[in-house]
Amino acid sequence: MKGVITDGTATALPRNQVLWDDLDPGFGVRRQREIAVFIVRYRQNGVRRHITLGRQPELTAAEARSKARVILDAARKQEAPQVPWDIPRSKSGTVYFGEIAERYLHEFAKPRKKPSSLLADKRNLELHILPLLGQLKLGQIDRSDIAKMHATQSSTPIAANRCLALVSHIFTVAEKWGLLERGASPCRGIDRFREKPRDRYLTDEELQRLGEALRIAADGYGGINWAAYSVAQHVGRQTAEDWRAIAAIRLLLLTGARMTEILSLRWDWIDNRLGIARLPDSKSGPKLLYLPETAMLLLEEIKKRVLKDHPTSPFVLPGKTDSAFFQGLFHPWRRIRALAKLHDLRIHDLRHVYASTAVSEGDSLYIVGRILGHRQLSTTERYAHLAIGPVREVANRTATKLSRFL
């Protein structure tokens, strides 16, 4: 619904309706229960954001419009909008979840979480959590409200569990801030959905198909009918793939690194003598990326090409400008995996392929975890079942030796 928001239109708004203002796009009022709540939404850096301004009659429409304009003006100037009012800290239930969620993002998550994690929190809040909980009083949200929010995403159990974990953490932080009594979180006792493991490994035959697809992609596809490989014609091509995409996939396979670690890799991070790259930051913090001899040889070939075409770029895989790294991996990867008939293989699965290959060869979980940069051994233990073959060989060899004495 659209119209001019006044105290009268806000009061008369039917339940389960939202009215967006004609005068200030992005300013709105929503009523899901008895009380109307003023809201503001805007888009910044491609992400839609949502802020709860307050409720009637504690806040008039004119006051809410004034606060909305402050936020919307800052967003249009590409600045980081600051909430221009203090969030009430009463335990009587006058604090709304949407207000605490906004404070959580700015005061807790932003200083502590990586940009990618912060972005994921914002998306989950705006798309799945705030539409159901944002206008509810913090102290009046009960277990049934949390269970309802969780159940709305039952078709995507992993995403649903991430949202539940985020809401639970917001309530935990609210307890620490003194906005809730200790142990009052309504998230306790909500059962998570069972998540199916998404790890994908490759057999030797599948690895061979992937290698062959990479070679074809590097040389050119030569009349391949992409429709036969379930790839839309508009994303198909006949010429060779961008050399940077081929190099990125090969480096991912040879190192077990995360995609962002390879794409953002810089020459000055690489120690050629030790065969490592010192990453100043990664998902698990500063990290040593181990570069085997095959990867070092590939990097030598890449460097010759970069010095020729992008002599001033600091990145191993340069982007369109010297200040950016290569980011065009999506469509090449889609074509390459289709050609290899590995339609369910994700780019991140190449990391699992590296880990599973190492463990299957009998390498210790501790060493494999160090290579991958896992903080906890339990993360690497997902691959333990792959080590049965090498362990059984040791058991057979030991038993054979001992049987000579029996």
pLDDT at 293: 92
In this prediction, the residues of the chain whose per-residue pLDDT falls under 50 are: 84-93
Class for the domain spanning 96-196: mainly alpha
**Centroid of chain to Cα 236:** 27
Instruction: Tell me which residue has tokens 């790294």.
Output: 325
What pLDDT does residue 180 have? 81
**Residue positions counted in the chain:** 406
Predicted confidence at residue 387, as pLDDT, reads 63
From residue 218, how far is each of 221, 246, 250, 318, 336 by CA, in Å?
8, 7, 11, 18, 10
**Tokens matching residue 277:** 């790259």
Residue 355, H or E segment: helix 349-360
What are phi and psi for residue 271, nearest 5 degrees?
Answer: -105, 100
For the chain, how far is it from start to end, CA to CA, in angstroms?
87
- 204-348 under CATH 1.10.443, yes or no: yes
**CA–CA separation, 166 and 109 (whole Å):** 11
Which residue(s) pair with 96 in the sheet? 137
Name the DSSP letter for residue 96: B
pLDDT of residue 311: 92
Q: Could you give the C-alpha distances from 74 to 44, 69, 109, 157, 199, in angstroms and in order? A: 10, 8, 21, 36, 43
In CATH, the architecture of 1-85 is 2-Layer Sandwich (3.30)
Give pLDDT, residue 94: 57
Instruction: Output the pLDDT for position 1.
Output: 67
Task: Say what the pTM is.
Answer: 0.63
Q: Which helix (H) or strand (E) holds 331?
A: helix 330-339
What does the pLDDT look like over 183-213, one tens digit per residue?
Answer: 888 998 899 998 776 667 788 899 999 999 9
The answer to whether residues 99 and 52 touch, using CB atoms and an 8 Å cutoff, is yes
- Give 4-34 pLDDT, tens digit per residue: 889 888 888 887 788 998 888 889 998 866 7
Delimit the domains of the chain by residue range.
1-85, 96-196, 204-348, 349-406
Q: Is the fold of 96-196 the same as that of 204-348?
A: no
Distance CA 112, CA 304 (A): 39
